[in-house]
Amino acid sequence: MKDPYLNFETGILKNRLGIKDQKSLDNAETAFASIAINNLRETGFEIATIKDCLIIHQKLFDKVYDWAGQPRTIDIYKGESILDGKSIDYVFASYIDQALEDLEKEFKAVIWEKLNPTEKIDRICYFVSEFWHIHPFREGNTRTAAMMLYFLIKKAGLHVNINFLSRNGKYFRNALVLSCLYTASKPEYLKDIVRDSVTFRNVSDNKYKTIEGIEVDKYSYVNHTVDKLKTIEKPKDWMKKPHK
């Protein structure tokens, strides 16, 4: 199967800037996303629904990709170093809209004012993790999830050290991977870093340098692909797995 998002002459994603090498595209993504993030924060953006994350993605990547804010149309896979090169089983493209709707129903049922801080963090981590597991976009899911995390924390009436999360971005991404393993899920890593970012606790510089014995600084990003990598067997109805 061919990937319609790729420029097959350059091997990188088609983009509005006419960029033909991966490093330049990465730099452009980072630059435009950083500007968009600041704009979202300064304009008082708020999350009212799960699908507002489509707006976040559109704002972050509209200058770079024609499909910014639009769910992907193909199934994708990505080898993870923390999973020995295997991939998370992302939601099939044909089910993305329904998966977001199902998650939205859970989101609307939450009464944030009735939750204590620990319960709020647990629910926030759950929604961010489930959103990332759906992986709605061809690219930019983790950055969208990070901004979703930021705005959900604000929605819950808590404060967040965004610089702390940014410094530990590689740990955050690998924590998302480990939280999306169905029956083998390990949500404690994600909850721990979010808890530290909210409480502003004094944290050792070494705490987030490794995850599952892997040095996060050695993590290198690998592009998504349409080549299928089977990993963990899914339950028959993945949306009915227990809350983390």
Q: How far apart are CA 142 and CA 149, in angstroms?
A: 10
Band of pLDDT at residue 233, cut at 50, 70 and 90: low
Return the CATH number at 225: 1.10.3290.10
Q: Residue 1: inside a domain, yes or no? A: no
Can you give the residue range of the structural domain that contains 216?
A: 6-240
* Mean pLDDT score across all residues of the chain: 90
Contact yes or no for 224/136 (Cβ under 8 A): no
Taking only the tens place, the pLDDT of each residue in 30-63 is: 999 999 999 999 998 999 999 999 999 999 999 9
- CA-to-CA dists, residue 60 to 63, 66, 217, angstroms: 8, 12, 25
- Exposed/middle/buried for residue 124 (C-beta within 10 Å: 0-12, 13-18, 19+): buried
Provide the pLDDT for residue 243: 42
Quote the percentage of the chain above a pLDDT of 70.
92
Q: Over the stretch 102-140, which tens digit does the pLDDT of each residue have?
A: 999 999 999 999 999 999 999 999 999 999 999 999 999
Q: Terminus-to-terminus CA distance in the chain, angstroms?
A: 35
Residue-level pLDDT at 162: 85
Residue 183 lies in a domain: yes
- The answer as to whether 166 is a domain residue is yes
Query: Domains in the chain: how many in total?
Result: 1
Q: Residue 140 domain-assigned?
A: yes
> Higher model confidence: residue 2 or residue 69?
69
Residue showing tokens 């990332």: 132
Distance CA 54, CA 136 (A): 9
In this prediction, residue 10 carries a pLDDT of 93
Q: What is the C-alpha radius of gyration for the chain, rounded to an integer number of angstroms?
A: 17
**CA–CA gap between residue 15 and residue 7 (Å, rounded):** 9
Whether residue 88 lies inside any domain: the answer is: yes
Q: Average pLDDT, stretch 219-231?
A: 71
**What is the pLDDT at residue 244?**
41
